[in-house]
Amino acid sequence: MPNTTETYDSRYLEGIRYFNEREYFEAHEVWEDLWKDDTGPARHFYQGLIQIAVCLYHFGNGNAIGARKLFYSSHRHLDDYPPSYLGLDLKKLLMDLQVCCAEILASEEKFPKVKIRAELIPEIHLDH
C-alpha cells in the first residue's frame, strides 16, 4: 500500500513543494537538512534529489557546466534505487530530467549557451 502524505517527513514534502514551484535553492536547503539527519537507506536518495534541484538551479541560471556535472552526480546517487521510492516515480523523474537537460548533455562546447525550456522542467508528484 502506498504511503500517505502523513507518513512522509515534512521536510521531504516541503522540498517537493519548493521543487514544483521551481524554487530549487530552497528545495535543496530543505532536503539537505533532511539528508544530514538521515542515516538510513534513503540518505543517498535525498542526496540525489538535492543534486537534481541544484542541477536545475544551475541550468536556470545559465551555468550549463554545473548543471551537467550535477545531472551525472544525481544519477550516481539514484540509479540503484527502485523505479518508485518513497512514493516518487523516480524512473519518470530521471527520464524527465534527461529530456530537460538533453541539449546541455549533447553539447560538445566547453561553455554551452543553452537556455532551460520551461515546458520541459520536471515536477514531482507522489503516488498516494
Distance CA 46, CA 77 (A): 9
Look at residue 4 and tell me whether its pLDDT is greater than 60: no
What pLDDT was estimated at residue 70?
Answer: 97
11-20 residues labelled b (16+ CB within 10 A) or e (exposed): bbebbbebbe
Q: Residue 90 carries which side chain, given as an amino acid letter?
A: L
* Model confidence band, residue 7 (pLDDT cutoffs 50, 70, 90): confident
Distance CA 119, CA 100 (A): 9
Q: How far is CA 50 from the centre of its chain?
A: 6
Of 2-11, 36-45, 65-74, 95-104, which range is least confident? 2-11
Cα distances (Å, whole numbers) of residue 6 to 16, 26, 33, 87: 14, 22, 19, 12
What pLDDT was estimated at residue 112?
Answer: 81
